[in-house]
Structure 1
Amino acid sequence: MFENRTEAGRRLAAALEDRGTRADVVLAIPRGGLPVARPVADALEAPLDVVAAKKIAAPGNPELAIGAATSEGGVWQNDDLCARLEVSEAHFERERDRAVEAARTKAEQYRPGGKVPEVAGKRLLVVDDGVATGATAIAALRGLRAARPATVSIAVPVGPPDALERLEDEADEVVALELPVAFRAVGAHYREFPQVGDEEAVAYLE
């Protein structure tokens, strides 16, 4: 159990230092990933930026994610769920394009000066406040991988074993502090888990 996102970030930073992890750029998944990523970036003495991602909504159910897309164009599709819901290719492509555009708008809002960091040949570390299905994280990792970094790793305070196992197929390294089998939701593993507003999120980048 973590007190809050900042405390989780400090514990995550300590674990990464113990492992000897190095990063040239730390990329938070906003908004909840930014309070966690700030202590990590400080500890690793790396610049902090963002990789924004948005879920791809199921037909008739905007709250149900059938995939995710990032500002960098990375996409993950839940093939099993799409098949079960009989999601058409046209629907997925339409929602994917909307998600990419929304993620780009969000990234520009957070990114100081709107400048995209140069990541080719660099060691990247993606940080979030936790993973549930892993959809957003997978999309983020794929989008970054397309930019040809040296490595792409991910670190989170908490996530279920099955989701973290999926991430191992996408990342060079996966670091998680807690891997509860009886996983309910990311917020259930924090004593304080308020929503992070846009103004607060941007402040972590300054």
Structure 2
Amino acid sequence: MFKDRIEAGKRLADTLASLGPFENPIVLALPRGGVPVAQKIAQRLGAPLDVIIVRKLGAPFNDEFAIGALVEGNPERVVLNEEAIYRLGVDRAYLDRVVAKEREELHRRQRLYRGQENPLENLAGKTVILVDDGVATGYTMKAALAAIREQHPARIVVAVPVAPRDILPELRRLADEVVVLELPEPFWAVGAHYERFDQTSDEEVIEALNRRT
């Protein structure tokens, strides 16, 4: 159990610092909740901080359940949970609508957080430390990893405070190293493992990025 994202970030930073040093590191956060965690890591490692914007594609009648994810890039990438889509009977028209809706929000955050800059264009040869406040289904993380891998980084490290144990094999397949502080069983939801899990605001993200190393 973590007090809040700040404490989780400090604890994760301590663990990562013990595994370093990392060659030519950059810390990429999944906004918005991953940013306060990643900020502490970037400060501890003396690494630049940026975001990679991924939008969850929510299921009909339950948008908290991921049937896929949309990740920024050129081109943008859609990763689908084909098993869930089949099981829920999700049709192409619904998928097209939810992708269009999340693409609009993705573009809004791109403009708001960093204008025309694109961190994915400058990852070749770097150690990318990909951070979120936790992993549940893993679809947003997997979409981000796929986009990052295409940019030929030297190494990818996934760092999260909490995740379900059964997601680890897939994350280890997609990343070079995975650092998770807590693997609770049973795993209910990311927020259940924080005493305080307020929504991170756009303003907090912008402030963190303006103070990047």
Using structure 2 for the length normalisation, give the TM-score.
0.88
Deviations 1:138-177 (A, max 9, x none): 1111111222222222100001111232211211111100
Q: What does 1:1-206 align with in structure 2 at a 5 Å threshold?
A: 1-20=1-20, 22=22, 24-59=25-60, 61-72=62-73, 73-89=76-92, 91-111=94-114, 113-117=115-119, 118-206=122-210
Q: Kindly tell me: are residues 63 and 12 of structure 1, through their superposed partners in 2, closer, same or farther at Cα, counting changes over 3 Å?
A: closer
Structure 2: distance between partners of 1:94 and 1:143: 22
Out of 35-44 and 96-105, give the one that drifted further.
Answer: 96-105
1:120 CA drift (Å): 2.0
Query: Alpha-carbon deviations, 1:106-155, whole Å to 9, x = none?
Result: 133112x5312311222111100001111111111111122222222210
Contact 2:66/2:137 (8 A) holds in 1: no
CA RMSD of aligned residues (A): 1.9
Deviation string for 1:55-101 (max 9, x for gaps)?
11334554432101111223321121011123334543553354344
The unaligned stretches of length 5 or more in structure 1 are none
**Which stretches of structure 1, 4 residues or longer, exceed 4 Å deviation after superposition?**
none
The one-letter amino acid of 1:27's match is L
How many aligned residue pairs are there?
Answer: 205
Change (3 A) 1:21 1:126: farther
1:62 and 1:7, CA in 2 relative to 1: closer, same or farther beyond 3 A? closer
Q: SS of the counterpart of 2:174?
A: coil
Q: 1:192 to 1:125 in 2, by over 3 A?
A: same
Alpha-carbon distance in structure 2 between the residues aligned to 1:102 and 1:146? 23
Contact 1:75 1:142 in 2 (8 A): no
Distance 1:39 1:155 in 2: 12
Query: In the TM superposition, what is the alpha-carbon distance from 1:41 to its structure 2 partner?
Result: 0.6
Q: Which runs of no fewer than 5 residues in structure 2 stay unpaired?
A: none
The residue type paired with residue 78 of structure 2 is V
- Give the % identical residues: 47
Instruction: Choose 93-102 or 49-58, whichever is displaced more.
Output: 93-102
Q: What TM-score results when the alignment is normalised by the length of structure 1?
A: 0.90
Contact 1:74 1:144 in 2 (8 A): no
